[in-house]
Amino acid sequence: MSVLAEVSGNVTAIGYGLAAIGPGIGVGIIFGQGVQAIARQPEAYGLIRQNMLLGFVLTEALALLGLVAPFIFQAL
């Protein structure tokens, strides 16, 4: 069988690309829904902001874990 297409280079880049999909969608949902919640109920701003930030931290942590995952598996 002949080679149709080939990708050479560092595979960890693909890994990080895949790892960034989930958190990307997550951060989008968090801020999108958060802005919508604030628009619907401006008086609950403080509470919504708090939870938005917490959700954002936890999601962003996953994205950054994806960034260092290649190094971790290299070290193991």
Partner 1 sequence: MSALTVLADDQFKAPSPDELFTFTPIIPGVDWFTKPVLLALLSSVVVIGFCWAAFANPKVVPRGVQNVAEYGYMFVRDQVARPFLGKDADRWMGLLLTLFFLVFLWNIMGVIPILQFPVASHIAFPAVLAISIYVLKVYLGVKHQGAVGYFKNMMFPPGLPKPIYILLSPIEFLSNMIIAPFTHAVRLFANMFAGHMLLAFFSMVGFWFLFEKLTPLGATVGVIGVVMTIIFTAFEIFIQFLQAFLFAMLASMYIGGALHAEH
Partner 2 sequence: MSEQERRPEDDGQDFANAAWSIPSYLLAGMAIYGGGGWLLDRWLDTSAFFPIGVVLGIVLSVYLVYRKYGR
Q: How far is the CB of 10 from partner 2 (least distance, A)?
A: 19
Q: How far is the CB of 4 from partner 1 (least distance, A)?
A: 7
The HSE-up count of residue 63 (CA atoms within 13 Å, CB side) is: 16
Beta carbons within 10 angstroms of residue 26's beta carbon:
17
The CA R_g of the chain, rounded to the nearest whole Å, is: 18
Contact criterion met (CB below 8 Å) for 23 and 59: yes
Binders in 6-45 for partner 1, by CB under 8 A: 6-10, 13
Q: Which stretch binds partner 2 (CB under 8 A): 6-14, 16-24, 46-54?
A: 46-54
Is the CA virtual torsion 31, 32, 34, 39 positive or negative? positive
Cβ-based nearer residue to partner 1, 6 or 43 = 6
Which residues in this chain contact partner 2 in the complex, by CB under 8 A? 45-46, 49-50, 53-54, 56-58, 60-61, 64-65, 68, 71-72, 75-76
